[in-house]
Amino acid sequence: MAFDRDYGDFLNRMDDLTGRLQVKLETTYDGIWDTPHAFQYLNRFERLTEVLPIGGMNSKYSRMIATFKKEMDRTMQTFKRQTSNPPVVRNYPNASGKIYWVRSLVYHLRSVIEKFEKEDNLKRMPEYRKLVKQYNDTG
């Protein structure tokens, strides 16, 4: 009888601790999903979901995809705005400096899309296909 009561109390405390830990993790790392550092934390959170009931991973994936879509739009706006007079690296001839500038924009987008390619859970999202299509149209 006493054991059952103590065991029930233990389970209640563990549930409470798990809930508080989940809330703490969610509030602490809420802003990370809108930054390039999200890929560093993605694997950690996926491993934690096996142990803790951390919900909303699909919303985190969607936020990451939306953030990269905004980044792609920003890069395209920069390209369109500076096409006629792009910033040229010092000591570069004008033509090769422009080529270098365009390649750096493409490299920036490619590096992020390659990170997306490595994540199977992100590739399952319906927004991912739209993102890849937009990237292919851009590049």
For CA atoms 136, 99, 76, 64, give the dihedral sign.
positive
Task: Give this prediction's pTM.
Answer: 0.72
End-to-end CA gap in the chain = 69
Question: Which tens digits make up the pLDDT trace of 30-44?
Answer: 777 666 777 777 778
Q: Are 100 and 89 in contact (CB under 8 A)?
A: yes
Q: What is the band of 139 on the pLDDT scale with cuts at 50, 70, 90?
A: low
- What would the two tokens of residue 96 be? 């090769």
Q: Tell me: pLDDT of 14 over 70.
A: yes
Q: What is the band of 24 on the pLDDT scale with cuts at 50, 70, 90?
A: confident
Radius of gyration, CA atoms only, the chain: 22
What mean pLDDT is predicted for residues 103-130?
Answer: 86
Q: Tell me: pLDDT of 26 over 80.
A: no
